Amino acid sequence: MRTVFDPLRRKEVALTPEEEVRQWCIKVLAGQLQVPMHMMMSEVGFKLGEKKFRADIIVYDRQARPLAVVECKRPEVELSREVLDQAVRYNMVLNVAYMIITNGRQTFACRRMETDGKLHYSFIDTVPSYNEMICQQQ
């Protein structure tokens, strides 16, 4: 079995196709989008009611509150409505400003917006940098 070192979990993990996408995403978040490594966690467990869930990556703001949730899928998995719905379910607990879904080939991002006093998510063209996420959150 092939393994890879996950810098967020600080351990070797099985190198599955989904894990390859997760590790690629961690590198993009830390590099190109300048998310500090200590402000991310992978494979974060939480509960919604009695059901247990596990988010692939959560990005935290400077007050250690969840800022973005990332759902990673294997490259051959289509980024469908069901995948987005999974991130939306996670967000019922996390209440993040950004939701990101990726299969390593395609990436979609949504930002929480308020229109007429109602919260909703809108697709955005690119995933913002960490500083942009922090500034736009406020």
Q: Where are the domains of the chain?
A: 3-137
| pLDDT tens track for 96-137 | 999 999 999 999 999 988 888 888 889 999 999 999 999 987
Residues with Cβ within 8 Å of residue 109, at least 6 apart in sequence:
98, 99, 100, 101, 123, 124, 126, 127, 128
Residue at 124: amino acid letter = I
By three-state DSSP, how is residue 54 classified? strand
Q: Tell me, what's the pLDDT at 43?
A: 92
Residue whose structure tokens are 């993990």 = 13
Give the count of alpha carbons within 13 A of 63, CB side only: 5
| pLDDT tens track for 11-37 | 999 999 999 999 999 999 999 999 999
| pLDDT tens track for 68-94 | 999 999 999 999 999 988 888 888 888
Mean of pLDDT values over 53-66: 95
| Region of residue 79 (phi > 0: left; psi between -120 and 50: alpha; otherwise: beta) | beta
Q: Tell me, what's the pLDDT at 102?
A: 97
User: Beta-strand (E) ranges in the chain?
Assistant: 3-6, 11-14, 40-48, 51-60, 66-72, 98-102, 107-115, 118-124
For domain 3-137, give its CATH number from 2.30.110.10, 2.40.10.120, 3.90.1570.30, 3.20.20.70.
3.90.1570.30
